[in-house]
Amino acid sequence: MSNPRYQALLKAMKDGKLDALEPVVSFEAGVEYPKLRDFFDSTSEAKEALDELVNAGVLVPEVVDNVMACPHCRTHKLMVRAVCPACNSSKLSEGVMVEHVQCGHVDFEEKFRSELGMICPRCGKPLGEGDYRVLSKLYRCLDCKRVFSEPRMEYLCNNGHRLGGGSLAFESVYAYKLSPEKRALLEYATLDVEELVRSLREEGLAAEARAVAVGRSGVAHDFSFVVWGDARAGGKGENGSPMVVGSVHTSERVTAPDVLVLYAKAFDVGAQAKLIATRGAVDEEARGLAKVYGIEIVESRNPKELAEKVKERVLKAIRQGNASRA
């Protein structure tokens, strides 16, 4: 969970600003969580974060609602359509059925009505009150001419898939609460990145918390913090790339994949120095990879001490970068 957006969310939880996450269901947006709009750019990104936090045991899901969706494209935008149960045609007419008691003819009420009143279309006799009876509402298929009391319902999704009622996908809608057993995990999110960045700016550096840097591939990468360089010198490193990128880990352990992810992102943006800050444990494989890829792992159980160490390493990296260009 080294994603900077996750870190901001976890810190809000730890600080008591965010506890329960309640869903809002609407036709336009489907299922969304309004409290997550400050942390994520899209509903899909928020859903991915919720799933990861549930898998990590940080959040506990509770079913509070459900929606039906298209099984092919998962859209919830569905239109209901009535079709003939015999031939599947959607060319139907609806009406009240009337029976002429004497001759037994049954047809739609509109077939009996005329300028002269109610007249049986089969025998031609005028009908007064008591000569006919009104039956229930019925449907007629204009293709196969069948008459039936209940049409079959099908659904059309906004992406063009045609579905029977039994083929819709059932999706539970969840509310999420912070797991009491995992509150200790949030202690790993206590490194105040905003405060760290403020202290770096006081040193005359151009720095951003939860920053995005665009790589040579054109992909935008998230970092816990980015230091572009000396603010007085334009705030950019060589070729406009960041001088230092950092990843603050909120998980209990730094693993090899964590190191590889940071390296790939840092390489793409052309960062000169790469830092991982953690209050958790570090796998030996991760430590070895970090050494190979030139990533410095900054460790401390104390959040204040960790922030000071990160600041110290950043300033050292900036000095070394400036010296190499001199």
Average pLDDT over residues 3-13: 76
The model's pLDDT over 160-174, given as tens digits with 9 standing for 90+, comes to 999 987 889 999 999
pLDDT at position 237 over 60: no
Question: Average pLDDT over the chain, rounded to whole?
Answer: 87
The model's pLDDT over 49-59, given as tens digits with 9 standing for 90+, comes to 899 888 878 88
Alpha carbons 129 and 151: distance in angstroms, whole number: 30
pLDDT of residue 221: 92
CB-based contact 133:101 (threshold 8 Å): yes
pLDDT at position 142 over 60: yes
Percent of the chain with pLDDT over 90: 51
- Secondary structure (3-state) at 84: coil
Eight-class DSSP state of 151:
P
CB-based contact 249:277 (threshold 8 Å): yes
pLDDT of residue 165: 72
CB-based contact 2:250 (threshold 8 Å): yes
Listed as own residue / partner, the contacts of 64-67 with beta carbons closer than 8 Å and 24 or more positions apart are: 64/22, 64/23, 64/173, 64/174, 64/175, 65/23, 65/25, 65/172, 65/173, 66/170, 66/171, 66/172, 66/173, 67/25, 67/30, 67/31, 67/171, 67/173
pLDDT at position 231 over 80: no
The model's pLDDT over 78-114, given as tens digits with 9 standing for 90+, comes to 999 999 999 999 999 988 889 999 999 988 888 899 9
The model's pLDDT over 110-140, given as tens digits with 9 standing for 90+, comes to 889 998 899 999 999 999 989 999 887 889 8
The model carries a pTM of 0.56
pLDDT of residue 105: 92
pLDDT of residue 188: 54
